[in-house]
Structure 1
Amino acid sequence: MSKSFVIVLCIVMVSCNYHSADSCITSTSFINDVYPIIINNCSLDGCHVSGSVIGNLADYDILKQKVDEGKLYYVLFENPLMPPDTMLKENDLKIIECWLKDGAQNN
């Protein structure tokens, strides 16, 4: 084999993945996956709880409204403003992103 063929073959093999880096491998659940992230990072005392201007994001209906308005995606992915003092863990962001891609179901 020629050197150029081997190099091209190596490049092709390295660039091929079964799952792309941004694909969702499993479906996500609001109750099991997303809700714990919201409770531990968003619905904290003084933040997005009952009586706050934004509302209680642990309430699925309020959270879904923010999803439908594009606000959740915006503050987490387009202009990461939340949480204000620290970023969500990459895995938590991935879970939320997959949940959004799956239709943000109340499951």
Structure 2
Amino acid sequence: MNKNLKFYTFILLTLGLFLFNACTDDTEDPVITDPDPVVVDATYTADAAPILNSSCAFTGCHVSGASIGSLANFADAKAFAGFGKLLKVINHEDGVQPMPRNSDKLSDANITSIEKWVADGLLE
């Protein structure tokens, strides 16, 4: 009987070992990737106008009818930006009067927004 007990114990331990190993989680967690981000084109209304209106198109500066050029509406801002001068003046490039005049340079985020609006095709 002692021999049978050893045999059954061996069988039970072996089966237990197989069952224990079968229950381990050998699968890798699935890699979840973000879907492609939605790229939205910058527009005058949503992106450029708030910056231009607060930093450029106010009394004494780039308002409608100003001799120095208006940035107060889409058509005027588009024309000014289309010449390429807008990006030069807000980036304080050599050979142009840095803008806004007598004020700090626009923040990098605001400059990037204006640059994106221009790069995206000066959309309204």
User: What TM-score do the two structures reach when normalised by structure 1?
Assistant: 0.68
Q: Which runs of 5+ in 2 are unaligned?
A: 1-38
Cross-structure match for 1:100: 118
Residue from 95, 98, 107 that aligns with 1:89: 107
What is the percentage of aligned positions where both structures have the same residue? 33
Bigger Rg, structure 1 or 2? 2
Deviation at 1:87, TM superposition (A): 0.8
1:61 corresponds to: 75
Q: CA deviation at 1:78?
A: 5.6
Cα distance per residue 1:46-92 (max 9 Å; x no partner)? 11012311232021111111122111122122617011211111111
Instruction: Let me know the Cα RMSD of the aligned residues.
Output: 1.7
Aligned pairs, number: 82
Partner of 1:72: 86
Q: How many angstroms apart in 2 are the aligned matches of 1:54 and 1:61? A: 15
